[in-house]
Chain A
Amino acid sequence: MRMLKFLLQKELKQIFRDPAIIIILFIMPTIQLLILPAAADYEIKNINLGVVDHDHSEYSRKMVEKITSSGYFRLRDYSPSFKQGLKAIETDKTDLILEIPANFERDLVKDNESTLFVAVDAINGVKAGLGGAYLQQIIGDYNNEIRTQWIQNPRMSPQPSIDVTSSDWYNPNMNYKAFMVPGILVLLVTMIGSSFASNNIVREKEMGTIEQINVSPIKKYQFILGKLIPFWILALSVLTIGFIIARVVYGIVPVGSYFTVYAFASIYLVAVLGLGLLLSTYAQTQQQSMLVSFFVTMIFNLMSGLYTPIESMPGWAQWIARFNPVTYFIQVMRMVVLKGSSLGDIRVHIFIILGFALFFNTWAILNYRKRTG
């Protein structure tokens, strides 16, 4: 134990003596937490609309007005021809075009029906889908308005109608930030745990100081603990700072208990640090270790369900997500912070993350040798 004390003293001194590290560990996460949640918002709003109105009738105008006043669309372009309207799509000025044919109103009265044309920039598939759907919905509403206006007597028998009410639990204000902030926090903490710690060890390899350790009576497990514990503490500190920022800046207060999160986080970090340790045993230079860490971090990041839902991924991709420890932490964070899940509720997650911790650390410890041969 005394060995460990000396090791820890040395590590902590070294970490805090590098000013860059302080900035990276504390200031950058703060900045990221302040900027990122504001940026990360999938909500489809402010869809840019282009209109090509060949009719210029009272009803075509009213329809356009109804569409623009819905709040979903912004009228950005009003062109005399489809060709020109298309140019607006090409330059990203508009997301979709509504073309109203000449004689729109007249055809509706005379022939009982009239057809509109919509062209949508479908590069962003979801935006296109929802945009089209919203537009159709509004047109449908307008259609009903006209009908009730023009038909004096309700000659139709009443139709059965299903009234759908929807309620949103756990986040009644649909606050997207509450969803993103915990996730981003997880990512930051993970980066510190895996990349930073990993690089630190490889640095000693590269500098040659690790030889001095290998030739001394320091036991393997002592060296490893000596490297992991400081970063474990640092990562938890960043987590704490993150929670403070979440509370003070975003007003996010966990519905569940902080204890649950920290309990899970503690085990999670052991797993993630173990992974970092494992990677460090394979890297010979810092450049290699950084590149690999980065590669792994990016995959973990993007396949974690933070930005895109896991259920939407193809089967094989979901398997990858299942083997990604980050996935579980993000779920736990959101569950505890937004839904108030308890330790009992997350017991499966805890079990899985313990598995990860054991797996990575065991492999890493077996791999790390004081004596090569």
Chain B
Amino acid sequence: MQSEKVITAHELTKRFGDFVAVNKITFDVEKGEIFGFLGANGAGKTTAMRMLCGLLLPTSGQATVAGFDVYKQNEQIKKNIGYMSQKFSLYEDLTVSENIRFYGGIYGLSDAHIKEKSALLVKQLHLDGQEKTLVRALPLGWKQKLAFSIAIVHDPAIVFLDEPTGGVDPVTRREFWGLIYEASARGITIFVTTHYMDEAEYCNRVSIMVDGRIDALDTPANLMKDYSAASMDEVFLQLARKAVRSGD
């Protein structure tokens, strides 16, 4: 039985005037996968992701997310995805439980369901006693984990994570990825962009973007073999050396 494809992209392109940010990328993501979208800063990762999330209109090419067309069924897509941006996007001036309640409600969870999920999340993240703490007061690592949990509070088909582990210590990063694995095990597909190459090894498959194109797409193991590299870092360096664009 063929795996269901939750994301498909065919020659997806985004142009800003003369500048081609995303250049005819083609790839699929299967259900339950942890798909790593790698690349240097400025390579086009975030732009590509924003097109898939319905935040940016593509210039050309096709794409579907959760079976819905990116051009015409934008709003349907949004009901079925979760999103965590680089800035975490939790409301700093609301408490932990208020944030959970808000996003739960936005995504259509019933009051009872929200209550249930709330208790579950708090326990899972060891935030017992902190329900009424303003998010502003939480340490960075907790904020991240909370943001992720809230992003999947409605059990979406896919969750998009844009550089979710920036600026956090290795222990917290490991814990974060623990949460990701758990979500994956539950059937949620994970689409994560990052420029940390070691995180690449946590993914089922990765793609590497250079100058707006996808220059490599395979499992980490295969890539390391193909490029005779000892780590994903090396794979990336080899590819990135060809890059014309520098970071932002």
A and B directly contacting (CB within 8 A): yes
Question: Which residues of A are interface residues toward B (Cβ below 8 A)?
Answer: 2-3, 5-7, 9-10, 13-14, 17-18, 207-209, 211-212, 214-219, 370-373
Residue of B nearest to A208 (CB): B87
**Known A6-B101, A216-B78: A211·B94 in contact at CB below 8 Å:** no
Instruction: Give 17 new A-B contacts, CB below 8 A, not counting A2-B108, A6-B101.
Output: A9-B101, A9-B102, A10-B98, A10-B102, A13-B93, A18-B93, A208-B86, A209-B90, A212-B85, A215-B78, A215-B81, A216-B107, A217-B75, A217-B106, A219-B75, A371-B57, A373-B56
B78-113 CB contact bits vs A (8 Å, 1 = yes)? Answer: 110101011111111110001001110111100000
**Known A5-B105, A6-B101, A14-B94: A212·B56 in contact at CB below 8 Å:** no
- Asked if B53 and A215 make an inter-chain contact with CB atoms under 8 angstroms apart, the answer reads yes
Is B54 at the interface (CB under 8 A from chain A)?
A: yes
User: For residue A18, which residues in chain B have a CB less than 8 angstroms away from its CB?
Assistant: 93
- Asked if B56 and A371 make an inter-chain contact with CB atoms under 8 angstroms apart, the answer reads yes
**Known A371-B54, A371-B57, A372-B57: A6·B79 in contact at CB below 8 Å:** no
- Asked if B55 and A211 make an inter-chain contact with CB atoms under 8 angstroms apart, the answer reads yes
**Known A5-B105, A9-B102, A10-B91: A217·B56 in contact at CB below 8 Å:** no
User: For residue A14, which residues in chain B have a CB less than 8 angstroms away from its CB?
Assistant: 91, 93-94
Chain B stretch 28-53: residues in CB contact (< 8 A) with chain A: 53
Residue of A nearest to B53 (CB): A215
Expressed in whole angstroms, the Cα–Cα distance for A9 and B92 within the complex equals 15
Expressed in whole angstroms, the Cα–Cα distance for A207 and B94 within the complex equals 14
- Asked if A214 and B55 make an inter-chain contact with CB atoms under 8 angstroms apart, the answer reads yes
* Chain B interface residue count, Cβ-Cβ cutoff 8 angstroms: 30
User: For residue B55, which residues in chain A have a CB less than 8 angstroms away from its CB?
Assistant: 211, 214-215, 370-372
**Known A208-B87, A208-B89, A211-B85: A216·B56 in contact at CB below 8 Å:** no
User: For residue B79, which residues in chain A have a CB less than 8 angstroms away from its CB?
Assistant: 217
- Asked if B94 and A13 make an inter-chain contact with CB atoms under 8 angstroms apart, the answer reads yes
User: For residue A13, which residues in chain B have a CB less than 8 angstroms away from its CB?
Assistant: 93-94, 98
Residue of B nearest to A18 (CB): B93
21 residue pairs from A and B, CB less than 8 Å apart: A2-B108, A5-B105, A6-B101, A6-B105, A6-B106, A9-B101, A9-B102, A13-B93, A14-B91, A14-B94, A17-B93, A208-B86, A209-B87, A211-B87, A211-B89, A212-B83, A214-B54, A215-B53, A217-B107, A373-B56, A373-B58
Expressed in whole angstroms, the Cα–Cα distance for A212 and B78 within the complex equals 11
Most chain-B Cβ atoms within 10 A of its Cβ — which of A5, A10, A13, A372?
A10
User: For residue B172, which residues in chain A have a CB less than 8 angstroms away from its CB?
Assistant: none
Expressed in whole angstroms, the Cα–Cα distance for A14 and B101 within the complex equals 14
* A322 nearest CB across to chain B (Å): 39
The 7 A-B residue pairs with the shortest CB-CB distance in the complex, in nearest-first order = A373-B57, A6-B105, A208-B87, A212-B89, A215-B83, A217-B79, A217-B78
User: For residue B78, which residues in chain A have a CB less than 8 angstroms away from its CB?
Assistant: 215-217
B51-84 CB contact bits vs A (8 Å, 1 = yes)? Answer: 0011111100000000000000011001101010
User: For residue A214, which residues in chain B have a CB less than 8 angstroms away from its CB?
Assistant: 54-55
Expressed in whole angstroms, the Cα–Cα distance for A211 and B147 within the complex equals 13
Expressed in whole angstroms, the Cα–Cα distance for A14 and B90 within the complex equals 13
* A1 nearest CB across to chain B (Å): 11
User: For residue B57, which residues in chain A have a CB less than 8 angstroms away from its CB?
Assistant: 371-373
Residue of A nearest to B70 (CB): A371
User: For residue A7, which residues in chain B have a CB less than 8 angstroms away from its CB?
Assistant: 106
* A225 nearest CB across to chain B (Å): 14
* B103 nearest CB across to chain A (Å): 8
Expressed in whole angstroms, the Cα–Cα distance for A8 and B89 within the complex equals 18
